[in-house]
Chain A
């Protein structure tokens, strides 16, 4: 009988009091654990550490709720018009896509079209300011080209003269030079004069692929996209993943010169960017100045904060713009530095990902994270 009743008792639900008691016990355990455990601090991802502005999520959610069953506007006309107005170019010069990375991939595929024969002893080349955006050499290989790394200048920015020299040495085989400004991972920037100098020195037919994914951390006056009206082989690629904190949307755009409509059409996704991404980007373009100044200021102040904290140690990084910095130690290699920081539950990207064993890339967050990083680095430097 007891067994018979026991079978049915197992189907009795817990009372709300019992459920609450269990949840309270679990919460107390987690709180007790959090007091004894050091939380992980992930400074390895270049994505902005905060969520996007709530209105961006609102706009994307509204777009989804309105017509998730319908195809998005393939031409992204409203978005292109807003982007064109922002950069002072024609809407036909703008193409929206699935993030800066995908646009760069498409641009390389278009520029290196016809290449890709592995037996070809002289594949077309792309000179890349290096270290730069990590996946770029792989994308060049995938498109059938050969990446030619060109070291950065001492200021951590692309060395346009060295790039021009590398492109000149490559002759007709050079299809493009690719550079990042502000540079990922160093934060170095180039100005309009340097870009004009580079354009003037390039062989005929070679393009400049300017990865400006971090450009929203620069003051609006430093925008290089306007040069597309002047330089006929300049493609500027921008992202919403960094300062707009929209990495999950996969949203970006490219601006090309006037008269490059055919080339830009090859960069566009076949059926356009997704409806929520278009809606989020459109809101961000129109209203970005509500929050971008605060993020610019935060990135700049945290760079200064860390530089001041590391003064007098053997740790240093080049000055630059944006939340990414390229940190090196006189006493430790990049791999050791990353491992020592990981032991303190601070995670940074070792420079080996860029083929460099002297540096690590750090993505800055807020003052609390910088304080913790600075304390850990000073402890390492001391001994």
Chain B
């Protein structure tokens, strides 16, 4: 087992630094022509946009939809506890489903990027997730502070 501690190897690194392993395929891929690769690049961009949209739904449409469903449960069932439980678990369920869809889209995106000629090692989902969260937070803050204004009990009547 080679030692890769520089104090054991005279200051030299032996082996590869973590996270720099090359991509390994089952066999060397047969790459198509330039036109197909350009098409794959466009498809990858479209999948990326779709992935971003899917992630954005987590921060607005989905919570709003579940709040609406919860309000309906409360109205028709007369139970606030049940309404809260439906909203919470429903939100959790669609979150899982959305992440599953986004993960699959991310895999498709990676494959399309490689087919387009890029050595795409990692997916982009964590970054999209973070960016969409920031975008949603900024939009919410603008709506909450500027458009909707302070709460009625603080504002002059």
Contact = CB atoms under 8 A, between A and B. Distances in A.
A10 B23 CA distance: 12
B130 to A, nearest CB: 24
Which of A13, A19, A57, A58 has the most chain B CB atoms inside 10 A of its CB? A13
Interface string A41-56: 0000000000000111
B141 to A, nearest CB: 40
Contacts of B10: 54-58, 61
Contact of A61 (B12, B27, B30, B115): B12
B30 A10 contact: yes
A61 B32 CA distance: 45
B67 to A, nearest CB: 40
A54 B11 CA distance: 8
Interface in B25-39: 25-27, 29-30, 32
A8 B29 CA distance: 9
Contacts of B8: 54
Nearest to B23: A13
Nearest to B8: A54
A58 B11 contact: yes
A62 interface: yes
A313 B115 CA distance: 69
Given A54-B10, A61-B12, A10 B32 contact: no
Given A12-B111, A14-B24, A57 B30 contact: no
A14 B25 CA distance: 5
B9 interface: yes
B41 to A, nearest CB: 13
B48 to A, nearest CB: 16
Contacts of A14: 24-26
A10 B32 CA distance: 12
Q: Classify chain A: how many residues form its interface, as a range.
A: 10 to 19
Nearest to B121: A13
A12 B104 CA distance: 13
B26 A8 contact: no
A57 B12 contact: yes
Interface string B111-148: 11011000000000000000000000000000000000
Nearest to A56: B10
A10 B9 contact: no
Contact of B114 (A11, A55, A57): A11
B12 A7 contact: no
Contacts of B29: 10-11
A185 to B, nearest CB: 31
Contacts of B114: 11
A4 B142 CA distance: 46
B124 to A, nearest CB: 15
B115 A7 contact: yes
A62 B25 contact: no
A191 B31 CA distance: 72
A12 B112 contact: no
Interface in A48-77: 54-58, 61-62
B32 A57 contact: no
Nearest to A22: B24
Contacts of A58: 10-11
A195 B59 CA distance: 92
A12 B24 CA distance: 9
B115 A11 contact: yes
Contact of B25 (A12, A57, A61): A12
Interface in A301-360: none
Contacts of B12: 57, 61
Contacts of A61: 10-12
B122 to A, nearest CB: 11
Given A11-B29, A12-B26, A12-B111, 11 more contacts: A8-B115, A10-B25, A10-B29, A10-B30, A11-B25, A11-B115, A14-B25, A19-B24, A57-B10, A57-B12, A58-B11
Closest 8 pairs (CB-CB, A-B): A57-B10, A11-B114, A61-B11, A10-B29, A54-B10, A14-B24, A11-B111, A58-B11
10 contacts: A8-B112, A8-B115, A10-B30, A11-B29, A11-B115, A12-B25, A12-B111, A14-B24, A57-B11, A61-B11
Interface of B: 8-12, 23-27, 29-30, 32, 111-112, 114-115
Interface of A: 7-8, 10-14, 19, 54-58, 61-62
